């Protein structure tokens, strides 16, 4: 469904990610794990059109999308939830969700699915997004991303700033979504949570992919265990 | 007392409409359009020339509104191109310099070509009595039009998908792109819309007082003051600040004279900025 080949991108100071290749198949959940500064965010920004790659290819459902503007990519069926969320703070929960369906009017059925998944949002429909707690904002960011009925949901560190209980809840919601057939790509530092969700994973270190495998394989890998699972 | 208050509201509503356009463009695109008053004056001249060419007032006004919209589009397609390549403060600064240069050129051209022209639209019929005060009919009509347009604008931004999309760009540009909104297209749209608003300000103002070819800078400065007091990027703030400053300005003009009233306006603006740097309804940075 999504295939990335030889992707290199960075900022003026030099390349942050180099020659990255990975793929996500329909119905899968795939994780990209790595420590802070490994390049996870730059990788996602380059895949989603927020950062111009200097070379490489991104193919989504057979169509080359590298170099397209983020707003074009968003309309092709990929929804991205960035770590900073980028909600519309002085707009209501309802309006934030409605804009997720842009340029269409929000579909009541999709709205119901989202509000059933996150009942907290239903209780707070008229509240401004900026006044909500971190956990609620994360729910809203995911909810907004779902309103366009994407084929692929991409999340950058969805647990950023969340207490452990809320982080676990966020992943519970992702499991539900995956169970309903949605393809999920997630970058995460909290590896155990991501590992429980994902079928496969890639390890990103200093801007290159150093390891890949099924979640079970990675869980057994001594380097992964030491660096990311805290097991000696 | 009540007469001053009502006159102040008439003026203030126009301030609000004027500042609304400026604040939207700034909030949406980080572009400060200092040729905004000149856009209003050029539109007014389009009305004058159309009427001189034999058009009836209402079609001539339509030509003026169209001209305002086209001027906004022209701005987007020409001198703002290099501005769009910059970000942050550099972007604001370049837009300010380019549009200011544009404003001087337009003023120069107009005073050379049409030194004595002014737009004056008259509405027949005697004064209207409101709260026991006899008001000039033109002022009342101008205010009714302005209130309708401002309400329409607020409804558009709150209730329509396109209006919400425009607000979302002001709220968080990257968030807007992530849901599939093209900020550049929204900015073009808003430049056209505010061009029409500038024309509308010229038209409604001409119902109260003549709009001369030299009125551009005064309009821009008033809009800037109101925008700063109301809070950048907030249409509601612009309306609120417009009405407040309109009332202050009218009271000052009637009690200590017109010249000092502009100073009083500036003082009011300075005090607001000292107390609330982000303006009445602005976002706190």
Question: Measured between CA atoms, how close is A136 to chain B, in angstroms?
Answer: 17
Residue with tokens 């519309």: A88
Determine which of B180, B183, B234 to mutate to test the interface with A (most A C-beta atoms within 10 Å).
Answer: B180
Q: What φ, ψ does residue B237 adopt, rounded to 5°?
A: -60, -40
Return the structure tokens found at A221: 């890998």
pLDDT tens digits, B43-53: 999 999 999 99
B232 compared with B172, residue with greater pLDDT: B172
**Largest Cα span, chain A:** 52
Name the pLDDT band for A231 (thresholds 50, 70, 90).
confident
Residue contact A100–B179, C-beta within 8 A:
yes
Single pTM value for the model = 0.88
Name the pLDDT band for B77 (thresholds 50, 70, 90).
very high
ipTM rounded to 2 decimals:
0.91
How far is Cα B2 from Cα B134, in angstroms, rounded to an integer?
A: 10
| pLDDT at position B280 over 90 | no
B59, B225 Cβ separation under 8 angstroms: no
pLDDT tens digits, B198-226: 999 999 999 989 999 999 998 999 999 99
How far is Cα A163 from Cα A166, in angstroms, rounded to an integer?
A: 5
Q: Which residue of B has its CA nearest to A97?
A: B179
Distances (CA, A) of A127 to A86, A88, A95, B154: 17, 12, 10, 19
CA neighbours closer than 13 Å in the CB half-sphere of residue A69: 12
Asked if B181 has any chain A CB less than 8 Å from its own CB, the reply is yes
Residues of chain B with pLDDT > 70, as a percent, come to 99
Would you state the pLDDT for residue B285?
Answer: 45
Residue spans of alpha helices (H) in A85-187: 93-100, 108-117, 119-123, 134-146, 164-179
Asked if B180 has any chain A CB less than 8 Å from its own CB, the reply is yes
């Amino acid at each position: 469904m999504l295939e990335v080949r030889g992707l290199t991108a960075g900022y003026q100071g030099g390349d942050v990610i180099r020659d990255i290749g990975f793929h996500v198949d329909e119905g899968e959940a795939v994780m990209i794990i790595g420590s802070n500064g490994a390049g996870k965010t730059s990788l996602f920004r380059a895949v989603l059109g927020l950062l111009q790659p200097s070379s490489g290819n991104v193919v989504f459902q057979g169509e080359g999308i590298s170099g397209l503007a983020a707003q074009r990519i968003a309309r092709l069926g990929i929804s991205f939830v960035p770590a900073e969320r980028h909600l519309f703070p002085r707009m209501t929960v309802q309006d934030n969700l409605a804009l997720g369906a842009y340029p269409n009017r929000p579909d009541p059925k999709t709205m119901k699915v989202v509000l059933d998944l996150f009942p907290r949002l239903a209780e707070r429909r008229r509240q401004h997004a900026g006044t909500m707690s971190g956990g609620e904002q994360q729910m809203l960011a995911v909810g907004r991303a779902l309103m366009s009925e994407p084929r692929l949901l991409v999340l950058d560190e969805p647990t950023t700033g969340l207490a452990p209980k809320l982080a676990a809840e966020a992943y519970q919601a992702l499991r539900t979504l995956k169970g309903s057939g949605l393809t999920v790509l997630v970058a995460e530092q909290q590896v155990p949570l991501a590992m429980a969700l994902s079928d496969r994973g890639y390890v990103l270190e200093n801007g290159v992919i150093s390891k890949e495998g099924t979640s079970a394989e990675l869980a057994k890998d001594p380097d992964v265990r030491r660096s990311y699972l805290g097991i000696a | 007392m009540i007469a001053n208050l009502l006159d102040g509201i008439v003026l203030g509503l126009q301030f609000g409409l004027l500042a609304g356009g400026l604040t939207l463009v700034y909030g949406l695109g980080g572009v400060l359009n200092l040729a905004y008053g000149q856009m209003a004056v050029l539109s007014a001249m389009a009305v004058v020339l159309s009427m001189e060419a034999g058009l009836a007032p209402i079609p001539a006004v339509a030509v003026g509104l169209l001209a305002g919209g086209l001027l906004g589009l022209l701005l987007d397609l020409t001198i703002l191109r290099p501005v769009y390549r910059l970000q942050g403060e550099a972007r604001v600064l370049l837009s300010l310099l380019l549009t200011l240069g544009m404003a001087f050129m337009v003023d120069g051209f107009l005073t050379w070509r049409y030194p004595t022209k002014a737009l004056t639209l008259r509405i027949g019929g005697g004064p209207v009595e409101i709260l026991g005060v006899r008001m000039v009919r033109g002022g009342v009509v101008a205010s009714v039009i302005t209130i309708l347009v401002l309400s329409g604008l607020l409804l558009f931004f709150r209730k329509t998908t396109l209006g919400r999309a425009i607000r979302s760009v002001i709220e968080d540009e990257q968030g807007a792109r992530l849901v599939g909104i093209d900020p550049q297209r929204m900015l073009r749209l808003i430049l056209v819309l505010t061009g029409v608003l500038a024309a509308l300000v010229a038209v409604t103002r001409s119902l109260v007082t003549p709009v001369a070819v030299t009125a551009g800078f005064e309009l821009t400065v008033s809009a800037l003051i109101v925008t700063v007091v109301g809070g950048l990027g907030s249409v509601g703030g612009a309306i609120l600040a417009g009405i407040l400053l309109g009332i202050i300005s009218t009271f000052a003009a009637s009690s200590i004279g017109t010249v000092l009233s502009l100073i009083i306006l500036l003082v009011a603006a300075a005090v607001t900025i000292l107390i609330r740097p982000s303006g009445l309804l602005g976002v706190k940075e």
